[in-house]
Amino acid sequence: MGDLQLLVVDDDSLVAWALERAASQLRADVSVAASGSAALDSVRAGRYDLAFVDIHLPDANGLDLLLQIRDLSPKTKIVVLSSDASSSNRECAFARGAWQFIEKPFELSEIAQVLGDCGNGSFEERRADQRMLCRLPLRFDLVERDAERADRLPCSFEATATDVSENGLRILTAFELRPGQILRLHSAHSDDPCAAKLHPGSRAQVVWVAPAHDATSAGLSYTAD
């Protein structure tokens, strides 16, 4: 028996298979529902710690289903999983109590992060610094640069925020960062709900870095100006 009870609500069998595979590596039991009605039957019959819910289902809108699942099982954390990741859908999902919103096609690392975070408190215990997964384009300037490299560096660099909180964020960038560097951040999309947790123009310190495919993943912590 796994530690986590998961419900996958998606009529795409490949998506369901990918989520089952990711969850099985983290000792989670997975049930799959291909429709909204089947999902509600499953929630009435059992207990689920986490539910992945697609927006476009054969018989339901996942954003409406989200509310129904929460009414039946308030402690179930709900992750909206959809290729329709418009700002309005993301805003609606979070307003209705979604724990996270993941855009398709997704990375297995995103699913692993959600599963790893799932046990950290109930929905009602969400903290102000909860990390929100995102794919938010931004730019950053190096506030402090090595003197010997300054003449060769452009003024700013592109990055993608992959999760954000009130205290910091994680980014992917092609630029080689190092712990201790200070960056000034500039958000490119102010209408995304995740952008509300960014502090445009604020300084952030690089806390850690790690290789990620052809890029660098870095954890940043906001610092006082």
**CA-based end-to-end distance of the chain:** 50
Mean pLDDT, rounded, of the chain: 84
Give the percent of the chain with pLDDT over 90. 41
* pLDDT at residue number 33: 95
pTM for the model stands at: 0.75
* CA dihedral angle for residue 76, residue 65, residue 194, residue 217, rounded to 10 degrees: 60
132-223 fold = Thrombin, subunit H (2.40.10)
107: its two tokens: 């990375």
**Is pLDDT above 70 for 2?**
no
Which of the listed CATH numbers 2.160.10.10, 3.40.50.460, 3.40.50.2300, 3.90.79.10 matches domain 4-125?
3.40.50.2300
Question: Tell me: the pLDDT tens digits for 201-224?
Answer: 788 999 999 987 788 899 999 987
CB 203, CB 183: distance < 8 Å: yes
CB 102, CB 110: distance < 8 Å: yes
Q: Do domains 4-125 and 132-223 have the same CATH topology?
A: no
Per the DSSP assignment, residues forming a β-bridge with 54 are: none
67 DSSP assignment: H
Residue ranges of domains in the chain: 4-125, 132-223
* pLDDT at residue number 152: 52
**Is pLDDT above 60 for 123?**
no
* pLDDT at residue number 66: 96
CB 9, CB 33: distance < 8 Å: yes
* pLDDT at residue number 191: 73
pLDDT class of 115 with cuts at 50, 70, 90:
confident
CB 42, CB 86: distance < 8 Å: no
CA neighbor of 203 nearest in space, from 158, 154, 141, 150: 141
